[in-house]
Amino acid sequence: MKIIQPTFQVFPDLSGESALRKVERIARTCYKSEDKIEPDSAKKIVRALIRGQHFAMLEHVSLSVQFITQRSFTHELVRHRLCAFAQESQRYCAYEGEKFGGEVVFVAPSLLPEDSPAYRQWAQACAAAEQAYFALRAQGVKPEVAREVLPNSVKTEIWVTANLREWRHILALRALGTTGKPDPRMLELMPGLLKELQRVYPVFFDDLNA
């Protein structure tokens, strides 16, 4: 059994500058103001689009983000409907295999201090789940059935692709808590993702602040 911390990464296929230029070029069609495109005009018009809530223009750019996290995180994430998903399948992955190091990976619960009795209780439960999983597999039970004994803390990987309007929506809910306090697992990754997107894609996320 292995215990890891959750992480994310943004697929590096689009620079912030390209995203700004693309949205500017497309949005200026609305006003037939393509002649106003200048080296530093993109930030200005995108800022104006966001201020004017002309968010439809942001739908022309999509970003992909990978989360390596626990199943309880992704269970919430996949409720967002305007996304494309690709997730590690517990039906097809057999964790006793060499490819998986012959062990099940779990994500540490951030709210339990590592030296606390509660953390030890959690770790014992994960170890017991792993043992039960391997025992079922040893009897020939398929991964798609054996997975029933795995808990919410089991590690999963998911790629999420969504347009910038949807990412703004997801981050407002999951990092800033605009509709209520986000789940603690969301608060482990989403504020960091918001910061990273603010760094890599200037303007598009600048107004999203706690």
Ligand X SMILES: Cc1cc2nc3c(=O)[nH]c(=O)nc-3n(C[C@H](O)[C@H](O)[C@H](O)COP(=O)(O)OP(=O)(O)OC[C@H]3O[C@@H](n4cnc5c(N)ncnc54)[C@H](O)[C@@H]3O)c2cc1C
Binding-site size, ligand X (CB under 6 A): 10
Stretch that binds ligand X, among 87-95, 118-126, 174-182, 190-198 (CB under 6 A): 174-182
Determine, following the binding rule CB under 6 A, whether residue 81 of this chain makes contact with ligand X. Answer: yes
Determine, following the binding rule CB under 6 A, whether residue 160 of this chain makes contact with ligand X. Answer: no
Determine, following the binding rule CB under 6 A, whether residue 82 of this chain makes contact with ligand X. Answer: yes
The nearer residue to ligand X, 173 or 189, going by C-beta atoms, is: 173
Annotated catalytic, 81? no
Determine, following the binding rule CB under 6 A, whether residue 209 of this chain makes contact with ligand X. Answer: no
- Catalytic, out of 28, 147, 168, 174: 174
Nearest distance in Å: CB 47, ligand X? 23
Nearest distance in Å: CB 149, ligand X? 25
Residue from 150, 154, 173, 197 touching ligand X (CB under 6 A): that is: 173
Nearest distance in Å: CB 99, ligand X? 33
Determine, following the binding rule CB under 6 A, whether residue 169 of this chain makes contact with ligand X. Answer: yes
CB 127 within 8 A of CB 120: no
Determine, following the binding rule CB under 6 A, whether residue 32 of this chain makes contact with ligand X. Answer: no
Q: What is the H or E stretch that residue 164 is in?
A: helix 164-174
Query: Residue 27 carries which side chain, given as an amino acid letter?
Result: A
Determine, following the binding rule CB under 6 A, whether residue 140 of this chain makes contact with ligand X. Answer: no
Determine, following the binding rule CB under 6 A, whether residue 182 of this chain makes contact with ligand X. Answer: yes
Which residues have C-beta within 8 Å of that of residue 117, sequence separation ≥ 6? Answer: none
Footprint of ligand X (CB under 6 A): 79-82, 166, 169, 173, 179-180, 182
The catalytic site residues sit at 174
